[in-house]
A = this chain, B = another copy of it.
Amino acid sequence: MSLTDMQRCIQECQRCREVCLQAVVHCLRRGGRHAEAGHITTLLDCVEMCATSANFMLRESMRHRRVCEICAEICDACAKSCATFRDDDEMRRCEAECHRCAELCREMAGTSARA
């Protein structure tokens, strides 16, 4: 896997982290079902795992593949949680970002065939 693939994945993790953290604030402001513990926790999980994943790649850690594998799972869960808010553009944007991040993380993990 070329350096360029890793750099694309790092950038995507950063972007996904950013979109998910902004989504936390958006959802808390909307209130109601948007602010339920399960959804906000899932967004915070994604914020943190994307940061961890990006940092493992930035450190060129030998163990970044396993971390990217879990990051993809966390992103999938976050996309699924966002997908339950069909009429909210912010949630659709967050869902799309999480899908993209999950895909690139799976490529980094070398598990795209399994996906």
Contact = CB atoms under 8 A, between A and B. Distances in A.
Interface residues of A, number: 38
B61 A41 contact: yes
A29 B59 CA distance: 12
A87 B13 CA distance: 32
B29 A18 contact: no
Interface string A13-48: 010001001101100110100011110111011001
Given A10-B18, A73-B66, A60 B25 contact: yes
Give the top 6 A-B pairs by smallest Cβ distance, nearest first: A28-B37, A21-B58, A35-B35, A29-B37, A52-B52, A41-B59
Interface of A: 10, 14, 18, 21-22, 24-25, 28-29, 31, 35-38, 40-42, 44-45, 48-49, 51-52, 54-56, 58-63, 66-67, 70, 73-74, 77
